[in-house]
Structure 1
Amino acid sequence: MPVWFREILIGFLILGAAFVAGAAANFFLRLLRTQIFLKRGKTLADELLFAARWPVFHLIVATGLVVIFSRLKANYPNQVASWIFNGVDAFVFIAAVALFVYLLYRLSAAGLVWYSQLLADRSQTRVDTQFIVLFNRLLKGVIFFLAVLVILDHFKIDIKGLLAVAGISSLAFALAAQDTLSNMISGFILMADRPFRVGDRVVLASGEAGVAVEIGLRSSRFLTDDGSILVVPNVELVRTRITNHSFPDARVRVALKFVLSHDSPVERAKGIFERALSATPGILREPEPALMLSDLTENGLEFSLFFWVPNLEQKGRAAEGVRLRAFQLLKESKIRFAQREVWLKENGMP
């Protein structure tokens, strides 16, 4: 059997084996995805397997071609046609790197979309599509740059200058986009840490309060009590204190104080306050309202009432209802509120 015929036969065998291996890998990934991961719902593994199926097949076939032309180049080093093998081998190597880059990009993009959806579900907000596109482009640029470095290194081309230029460009970009990058990173921190969610009522350290309507990657928006939209950069939300009135639930405790005169009957006054609490709509019965004689002051007897309402919006209305009913009942029972008495002493008077 001539040597050239044997090499051609071996080449076809390697190519056939690569096709079979690629098809087997494709079938295995599809089987793994449909029979195991899809039954558990959409997961990261499911997204990665779907993204990897066909790129893996083509990558295995390209690897087989690289092996074939590497054998031909090694077995025919002095032939006139060796430059053809070198050219084809270089082309196949670049194609294999391109396929590997395509596989890596699809896996990274699938992971990014899945994680963005996970953050959106956890924080009950959407992740802006524009930012997903931006991250995809940045990811594509980084992977493409790494692929160029691998190809240049394979052909023994010095890449130190290119690395220096890339380092300086990256530093310049980072300095120019420092605020934007800080807000974007802070946005991911807010979505992962979840100090508040969409619909939560929060109070910022500045005293501004509102209901969270959107948590974006650059800024978050709150609907204030006067109907305006407050836009706060995410980096400020990460660095400051936030009071969340809706977590772990929306219930709010209300505390009221009444100061009655010293001659007021304590048990009777307690009964009046209990009637006022039970007659006011919107007050939760669990946790149970509480009242106590909390202090004896120079002005009178101080009574403290504690009760819970379903949310912050009902706090003022319920407090007003309790005050009005307590005032009416105290007035009907002729129980007086405490009044400060001031005695003036004239000169020469005892």
Structure 2
Amino acid sequence: MQVNFFQIVPVLNQFLKYAFSYSHLYNLVVSVVILGIFVLFKNIFTNYIFKFLRRMTDKTKGMADEYLLTSFHDPLKNAIVLLGLYLAFKNYLPSSYDYVLNKVLSSGVIILFANAVYKLVGFYAENETEIGRLLNGKIDKILIPFFSKMIRFIIVALTFVVIASDWGYDVNGFVAGLGLGGLAFALAAKDLLANVFSGIVIIIDKPFSIGDWIKTNDVEGTVVDINFRSTKIRMFDQALVTVPNFNLVNASIINFTKRPTRRITFNLEVTYSTPSHKLQKGIERIEKLLLAHSNIDETSVVVKFDSFGGSALQIFVYFFTKTIVWADYLNTKQDINFGIMKIMEEEGISFAFPSTSVYLETPLKIKQEAEAN
């Protein structure tokens, strides 16, 4: 279809007359001024409000008020800009656009409020102490990331539903559609659902928590995160391993963090030239050393002359530390090692080392044969 140039000219001329008319330019300038005022004064207005609110909450304990104010700070600034946009377009556009502008304004306010609550949940998810204070009790760390993700998902879903309802969409039909779609999704994603339900089982049964040192047949390390589908484990070489929850539920898990004590056991090997009375005195002193140490469980101490080895007398040493923290465990082990060395030096007992002795049955005959040759 061809358009005649002479047909466009009148339409373009009419548009230019309207665009440069006094009423149009006046409304445009007023709208720009309105928007500029709200943009320029958004920081001043927001800071004034939050300064007043912080004065009211300075005497309160905990971080609840700070989290609340921080979460709503940026959304409030954006809400001021949104209000400026609404008033600017309302002044500029004809009254027939009021319905759309009102819906856009209400949807924007809902989104900004949901964003503030979303941030607030994130702040609490990073502070276990504040959650315990909020709930007036202690909560397991394993529950925090799982439920924080669930609450955030609910916030997003509710925001979508409320906005859709405000614009006149049938939410009931949408929810029913989700039910049919969920059935099809369940059939197509059995493994995903298995991992989700396995994650719920892990949270309820609590075989481990975030920060625990665990070991399975395939992986060993510290648990850093638990979500709907998988568990993230930081190995000791700092590699991050993601394990599906279904695999963990069906695996044998050793939780080293749950043990109350940590074992240390080794054999001391001393030379065969050690007199029996010195060996007995050394064993008694090592046992007293272990029993006197504040970080060793005195009920587990065993120090015994165990056996006659191939090249040394073997003393069996067995005890448990009261701490399971890696650094404290190593410090305790080091203290005991230095203490044993000091006892051995004071008692004149020498440590043995692997050696081989060669015996010649007729050394004289061999010497004579070598001289004859």
User: Structure 1 length as normaliser, TM-score?
Assistant: 0.48
User: Structure 2 length as normaliser, TM-score?
Assistant: 0.46
